Amino acid sequence: MMLWNRLKTRVTKSSQIIVDDIDVQIVRKNIKNLNLRVYSSDGRVRVAAPMHVSDDAVRLTVIDRMIWIKKQQLRLANRPEPLPREMVSGEQHYYLGEPYLLEVIERHGKHEVTIANNTDLLLYVKPGTDMDKRASVLNEWYRQQIKTIIPELIQKWEPVVGVRVDEWAIKKMKTRWGTCNISSRRIWLNLELMKKPVQCLEYVLVHEMVHLLERYHNKNFKAYMDRFMPDWRVQDALLKCEPLARDL
């Protein structure tokens, strides 16, 4: 089963509510229990909920835990600035919006990255591999993962949007999540999207595909987005509230 097919079974529907001036992202999955999380990266609140749980039920849960939520957000707001990445065991790295603890394992053989127990990111490197090379290995792994997802997403959305993408590529960008060359029908996507929820990656791709219909971010563009992806504003808000790029 391809990676994108596996991801489709993990996340089914995303929405957003506001509780006491706090934006709360709701992600509905095929799970049994409701889980609330305050992200350590920026203090945003996300609730993973079973498919049958209503927004009102989520709202009541958030209200019930509001004191704890605000305490966590206050602690995060007052923490010192994070130190630069050193690519050592114990660091927190993100993959598809979820936090993982990095574990660097030195061994002879090829460099590779694997996920263990849905919590750990195992980075296998040769003894003596420096920080820059470790970062390069991890970035290459991100690149390979996103290259697995994109073709199936393009195949899914081309008939919906009614456009054809002739070429696409991945690169690290400091000012944009994606960009589109209309004349060549080429789309570039930011490698950093592999650290965000998969809905964000899908949103940016569709956003750039819609530019093949409308060059500018005008009413027509927003009307297209509303038609093709009604919840696009949730993902747009999420990306706007997070740093665009973070050097490893």
Q: What are the pLDDT digits (tens) for 115-135?
A: 998 889 999 999 999 999 999
**pLDDT for 78:** 79
What CATH number matches the domain at 141-240, 3.90.120.10, 3.30.2010.10, 3.55.10.10, 2.40.30.30?
A: 3.30.2010.10
State residue 248's pLDDT score: 38
The domain limits of the chain are 3-77, 141-240
Q: How far apart are CA 187 and CA 204, in angstroms?
A: 10
Q: In what order do the strands lie in the sheet with 98-106?
A: 92-95, 98-106, 120-125, 112-116
All residue ranges of the chain with pLDDT < 50 are 1, 245-248
CB 138 within 8 A of CB 113: yes
Tell me, what's the pLDDT at 243?
57
Q: In the chain, at which residue ranges do the beta strands (DSSP E only) sit?
A: 13-19, 22-29, 35-38, 45-50, 92-95, 98-106, 112-116, 120-125, 167-171, 178-181, 186-190
pLDDT of 176 reads: 87
Report pTM.
Answer: 0.69
How far is it, in rounded angstroms, from Cα 244 to Cα 248? 13
What pLDDT sits at residue 59?
A: 93
Neighbouring-strand partners of residue 179: 188
Q: Whole-angstrom Cα distance, residue 190 to residue 2?
A: 21
SS3 30: coil
